[in-house]
A and B are shown apart, each in its own frame.
Chain A
Amino acid sequence: MSVVDRQEWDVVVVGAGGAGLRAAIEARERGARTAVICKSLFGKAHTVMAEGGIAAAMANANEHDNWQVHFRDTMRGGKFLNQWRMAELHAQEAPDRVWELETWGALFDRTKDGRISQRNFGGHEYPRLAHVGDRTGLELIRTLQQKIVALQQEDFKETGDYESRLKVFQECTVTRVLKDTASEGGSAAGRVSGVFAYERETGRFFVLEAPAVVIATGGIGKSFKVTSNSWEYTGDGHALALLAGAPLLNMEFVQFHPTGMVWPPSVKGILVTESVRGDGGVLRNSEGKRFMFDYIPDVFKEKYAESEEEADRWYEDPENNRRPPELLPRDEVARAINAEVKAGRGSPHGGVFLDVSTRMPAEVIRRRLPSMYHQFKELADVDITAEAMEVGPTCHYVMGGIAVDSDTAAARGVPGLFAAGEVAGGMHGSNRLGGNSLSDLLVFGRRAGWHAAEYAQGVTYQRPPVDDAQVNAAAAEALRPFSAEADREGEAGPPENPYTLHQELQQTMNDLVGIIRREGEMEQALRKLAELRVRARRAGVEGHRQFNPGWHLALDLRNMLLVSECVARAALERTESRGGHTREDHPTMDRKWRNVNLLCTLADPTGGLAATDSGRGQIRLARESTAPIRPDLLALFEKEELVKYLAEEELYE
């Protein structure tokens, strides 16, 4: 069966968003022959939807900013669960990563003295986000895309072939990371040997043999009904890592962005950038009240304004006033909106009002928030310069992800596997600050590409062999939806429509493992996931393998079901509320959970999914204690603040 096309590369990057492209650029510049595989066309990745900006302490807008302040904000935003070494590297290296983009042709908005302008955002003490209007993600992806083309032009001059050292396989999907099972024992066994993929256009299978694989596939939002995420966000990389034997970290932390569109239904969930609030927009309930003043939690009391007057003065005079509570971290704002709607003070379509129309002149709104202006005008028939927007929480980002080494981005437990960007866990702790995602992509994308290239060069003379049996098994798994109706032992039942299964999964996660969680509902979700898992084995498709979206979805279901189970199990286990994990039955943050990581692994790593029975579930959970925060980093905080987060014994170590 395995007459599958094979090619040899040094580094394979799965995903072509910000992290994947930055990794590919780095690996190629360090001499590794690098292949990038992405599900969409080159340059269309979900990163284009990032609006607000890239957080980096360049101190262009406020001279007091530096990496230490950025580090502090990041740890506070994540409620101190962050993998602190990642937060440190991120804060230190983000400015260089932004400036580097300028040398590749990026054009950010400017300050009066010609430097990169920086804007305010939730949870950031100073204006820190480098931006281009509200289309910063597009600028980032285009700049990286054009840098890749520039490198290909160099290679063309030298070799006559644009793709001799750096090639993008667009509209292809990876379904398995392959591992060396042939080499006996020692350090060689279990190393990454390549990936198995199919071309979406033709349905043709192929294998890229490579000793190093960087996973940069983004998030999991498509498992939820209301989401700002695109179709690509089916948790592929999370699932690929799990299936390859790597653990996922803290999957219970899912960020619900406070402001998604709520109407019309077909656009429900589409993002309304936080810049709207950063630039002066305010949240009001149906009574016209700026309700965020009622929702400032104790840990943030000293840092936020107590009155509308003080909050409004802050935009002009941040030295002598505190910031408006609309700019609290996203988890706080999302919960507040949820509570207002639940209390019956919502807007007509079940959100709250976000208003810029009374806060700045129409012309300023159109200049600073052009995409938002058009988005509302064209999709909802709302003129945001004349009336308030209706907004509500939308599933936006997963903080949890592949457990990685902070410095090298190497996945734990699988030599040769690396991960960067949203798919990697740890960096953002329990909640990500706006703007820290784009900087995360650049900082850790570069590190992943660097260490993947170094690792690949170290094994040049003993490349791990690709195992034919694994290739055959992967091919059979991928073809399964075409023969789903064939009656198999113990799986009687009609073929299932993958679209229906997907809708039921989204509804389940949205209703039962959403923004506010309860024990009984999560147990119910796990039962429903087990049922869906069984039915998904009968997901059948019509037609043939050429550009067949029904087939693609049937294959993506495996990943969404795996990842959803991780989220539900971890959320059930963590009996506290922290960041992007809110338990109605355990409503407070518990200092005893501060240093606890939850790791998800595959329950049956040998047999793959075929052996899994419905009742048992596929995921095993383990707890581990986080490494103590380095003393010099702890010293950046006041003792009074640390007391709110850290357990007694951590404080006195």
Chain B
Amino acid sequence: MSSYEARFKVWRGDEQGGGLEDFTVEVNDGEVVLDIVHRLQATQAPDLAVRWNCKAGKCGSCSAEINGRPRLMCMTRMSVFDRAETITVTPLRTFPVIRDLVTDVGFNYRKAREVPAFVPPAGLGAGEYRMMQEDVDRSQEFRKCIECFLCQDTCHVVRDHEENKTAFAGPRFLMRIAELDMHPLDAAAETGLDRGRTAQDEHGLGYCNITKCCTEVCPEGIKITDNALIPMKERAVDRKYDPLVWLGSKIRRRSS
């Protein structure tokens, strides 16, 4: 086992402002960035604010920007950096800073509330649901999301455009709409709710110009753009220009 001293720059401050603070800190074999931040807390900066929870890449709490790239601190191994390199850790840029590395991610919780919930099918009781594995695969992929909000952070539609936040749900919640739309038993259509159309009309799908930044930063490897956003866009276009496709999709839906 070998340890060394690494140089870190960590953003410290609050909504009033702040800046990068320099640290030199011990790093041991096998450690991740979150370990180093914890060592800073324990030895040099006890009030350094950081959000974390599971430390195993499962809860999506410790999102930050490491050398400018949105990442989970618990899943970023120190061994990916050169030992001479200074590592810069800053809070997620898209959301307002509360303190140090902690940001106000309330935007995401507000957007979550705007997506209508799963509609259980009428006439099917608990225990009577039958779904084939191949029909749930795609929605299951989207449900792997750990809500780290890295995709929301990196998406250029809102990253430097505060004004778009009202109209745009962001990749995570557009994907949530896709998940429900592809759920084999969701009965939203029967209640008059066209999830695909609301994605376009109410949740800002049209703002997305499929640069795939969200897919690139997803720690779960979910193909957000290819599997969720593009299919919804295609159907939005189909619906708009081709009444037969629109009708066909309705008929297929009912008989499935």
Chain A residues within CB distance 8 Å of chain B = 40-44, 46, 48-49, 58, 95-96, 99-100, 102-105, 107, 109-110, 113-115, 132-133, 135, 137-139, 142, 146-147, 149-150, 152-153, 156, 162, 201, 230-232, 263-267, 270-271, 371, 374-375, 378-380, 497-500, 503, 541-544, 546-551
Known contacts A49-B54, A232-B53: A43-B31 contact under CB 8 Å: no
Give complex CA distance A139, B55 in Å: 18
A-B contact pairs, 12 of them (CB 8 A): A43-B147, A44-B61, A105-B117, A107-B136, A132-B143, A147-B117, A230-B53, A263-B30, A266-B32, A541-B47, A549-B49, A551-B47
Give complex CA distance A49, B54 in Å: 7
Q: Shortest Cβ distance from B163 into chain A, in angstroms?
A: 24
Q: Which residue of B lies closest to A544 (CB)?
A: B47
Give complex CA distance A529, B112 in Å: 45
| A102-B126, A266-B30 known, 5 other contacts, Cβ within 8 Å | A48-B54, A132-B140, A263-B30, A266-B28, A379-B57
Q: Shortest Cβ distance from B109 into chain A, in angstroms?
A: 7
Q: Shortest Cβ distance from A167 into chain B, in angstroms?
A: 12
On chain B, the residues within 8 Å of A271 by CB distance are 56
Give complex CA distance A503, B43 in Å: 12
Q: Which residue of B lies closest to A162 (CB)?
A: B113
Known contacts A135-B144, A139-B143: A550-B46 contact under CB 8 Å: yes
9 shortest A-B CB distances, which residue pairs?
A264-B30, A105-B118, A543-B47, A150-B117, A550-B46, A114-B130, A99-B126, A499-B42, A547-B49
Q: Which residue of A lies closest to B142 (CB)?
A: A107
Q: Is there a chain A Cβ closer than 8 Å to B153's Cβ?
A: no
- In chain B, residues 140-159, which have Cβ atoms closer than 8 Å to a Cβ of chain A? 140, 143-147
Q: Are the CB atoms of A549 and B46 closer together than 8 Å?
A: yes
On chain A, the residues within 8 Å of B52 by CB distance are 231
Q: Contact size class for B?
A: 35 or more
Looking at B28, B30, B75, B136, which has the most chain A CB atoms within 10 Å of its CB? B30
On chain A, the residues within 8 Å of B127 by CB distance are 58, 95-96, 99
Give complex CA distance A266, B57 in Å: 14
Q: Are the CB atoms of A107 and B143 closer together than 8 Å?
A: yes
Give complex CA distance A132, B31 in Å: 29
Q: Are the CB atoms of B75 and A379 closer together than 8 Å?
A: yes
On chain B, the residues within 8 Å of A103 by CB distance are 120, 126, 129
Known contacts A49-B58, A105-B118, A267-B56: A113-B47 contact under CB 8 Å: no
Q: Shortest Cβ distance from B235 into chain A, in angstroms?
A: 21
Give complex CA distance A42, B110 in Å: 12
Q: Are the CB atoms of B130 and A150 closer together than 8 Å?
A: no
Give complex CA distance A486, B129 in Å: 64
Q: Are the CB atoms of B109 and A42 closer together than 8 Å?
A: yes
Q: Are the CB atoms of B30 and A499 closer together than 8 Å?
A: no
Chain B residues within CB distance 8 Å of chain A = 14, 28-32, 35, 41-43, 46-61, 75, 77, 98-100, 102, 105, 109, 112-113, 116-118, 120, 126-127, 129-133, 136, 139-140, 143-147, 180, 183, 186
On chain A, the residues within 8 Å of B43 by CB distance are 499
Q: Are the CB atoms of B61 and A265 closer together than 8 Å?
A: no
Q: Are the CB atoms of A270 and B56 closer together than 8 Å?
A: yes
Give complex CA distance A138, B30 in Å: 26
Q: Which residue of A lies closest to B1 (CB)?
A: A265
A48: which of B49, B51, B58, B109 is its contact (CB, 8 Å)?
A: B58
Q: Shortest Cβ distance from A161 into chain B, in angstroms?
A: 12
Give complex CA distance A379, B60 in Å: 16
Give complex CA distance A160, B131 in Å: 36
On chain B, the residues within 8 Å of A147 by CB distance are 117
Q: Are the CB atoms of A547 and B58 closer together than 8 Å?
A: no
A542: which of B28, B47, B100 is its contact (CB, 8 Å)?
A: B47
On chain A, the residues within 8 Å of B46 by CB distance are 497-499, 541-543, 549-550
Known contacts A41-B105, A138-B58: A153-B29 contact under CB 8 Å: no
On chain A, the residues within 8 Å of B126 by CB distance are 96, 99-100, 102-103
On chain B, the residues within 8 Å of A133 by CB distance are 140
Q: Are the CB atoms of A231 and B53 closer together than 8 Å?
A: yes
Q: Shortest Cβ distance from A41 into chain B, in angstroms?
A: 6
Q: Are the CB atoms of A153 and B117 closer together than 8 Å?
A: yes
On chain A, the residues within 8 Å of B109 by CB distance are 42
B130: which of A58, A115, A379, A550 is its contact (CB, 8 Å)?
A: A115
On chain A, the residues within 8 Å of B47 by CB distance are 541-544, 548-551
Known contacts A49-B58, A110-B133, A266-B32: A549-B48 contact under CB 8 Å: yes
On chain B, the residues within 8 Å of A379 by CB distance are 30, 32, 56-57, 75, 77
On chain A, the residues within 8 Å of B14 by CB distance are 546
Q: Are the CB atoms of B118 and A153 closer together than 8 Å?
A: no
On chain A, the residues within 8 Å of B183 by CB distance are 105, 107
Q: Shortest Cβ distance from A274 into chain B, in angstroms?
A: 16
Q: Shortest Cβ distance from A540 into chain B, in angstroms?
A: 9
Give complex CA distance A104, B126 in Å: 10
Q: Shortest Cβ distance from B146 into chain A, in angstroms?
A: 7
Q: Shortest Cβ distance from B192 into chain A, in angstroms?
A: 15
Give complex CA distance A135, B35 in Å: 24
Known contacts A40-B61, A102-B129, A547-B100: A265-B28 contact under CB 8 Å: yes
Looking at B28, B47, B116, which has the most chain A CB atoms within 10 Å of its CB? B47
Give complex CA distance A232, B131 in Å: 36
Q: Shortest Cβ distance from B43 into chain A, in angstroms?
A: 8
On chain B, the residues within 8 Å of A547 by CB distance are 49, 98-100, 102
Give complex CA distance A270, B28 in Å: 18
A110: which of B49, B51, B57, B132 is its contact (CB, 8 Å)?
A: B132
Q: Shortest Cβ distance from B176 into chain A, in angstroms?
A: 9
On chain A, the residues within 8 Å of B99 by CB distance are 201, 546-547
On chain A, the residues within 8 Å of B180 by CB distance are 105
Give complex CA distance A113, B130 in Å: 8
Give complex CA distance A195, B98 in Å: 25
Give complex CA distance A58, B77 in Å: 42
Q: Shortest Cβ distance from B30 into chain A, in angstroms?
A: 2
On chain A, the residues within 8 Å of B61 by CB distance are 40-41, 44
Q: Shortest Cβ distance from A260 into chain B, in angstroms?
A: 11
Q: Shortest Cβ distance from A538 into chain B, in angstroms?
A: 15
Q: Are the CB atoms of B75 and A114 closer together than 8 Å?
A: no
Give complex CA distance A49, B59 in Å: 7
Give complex CA distance A153, B112 in Å: 10
Q: Are the CB atoms of B49 and A149 closer together than 8 Å?
A: no
On chain A, the residues within 8 Å of B48 by CB distance are 549
Q: Shortest Cβ distance from A54 into chain B, in angstroms?
A: 14
Q: Shortest Cβ distance from A464 into chain B, in angstroms?
A: 32
Q: Shortest Cβ distance from B137 into chain A, in angstroms?
A: 9
B55: which of A114, A162, A270, A551 is its contact (CB, 8 Å)?
A: A270
On chain A, the residues within 8 Å of B139 by CB distance are 107
On chain A, the residues within 8 Å of B29 by CB distance are 264-265
Q: Are the CB atoms of A138 and B117 closer together than 8 Å?
A: no
On chain A, the residues within 8 Å of B58 by CB distance are 48-49, 135, 137-138, 371
On chain B, the residues within 8 Å of A548 by CB distance are 47, 49
Q: Which residue of B lies closest to A499 (CB)?
A: B42
On chain B, the residues within 8 Å of A110 by CB distance are 131-133, 136
Q: Are the CB atoms of A146 and B77 closer together than 8 Å?
A: no
A40: which of B49, B53, B75, B133 is its contact (CB, 8 Å)?
A: B53
Give complex CA distance A135, B57 in Å: 11
Give complex CA distance A441, B87 in Å: 41
Give complex CA distance A542, B49 in Å: 12
On chain A, the residues within 8 Å of B28 by CB distance are 265-266
Looking at B29, B54, B100, B180, which has the most chain A CB atoms within 10 Å of its CB? B54
Give complex CA distance A447, B242 in Å: 52
Q: Shortest Cβ distance from B48 into chain A, in angstroms?
A: 7
B75: which of A49, A96, A105, A378 is its contact (CB, 8 Å)?
A: A378
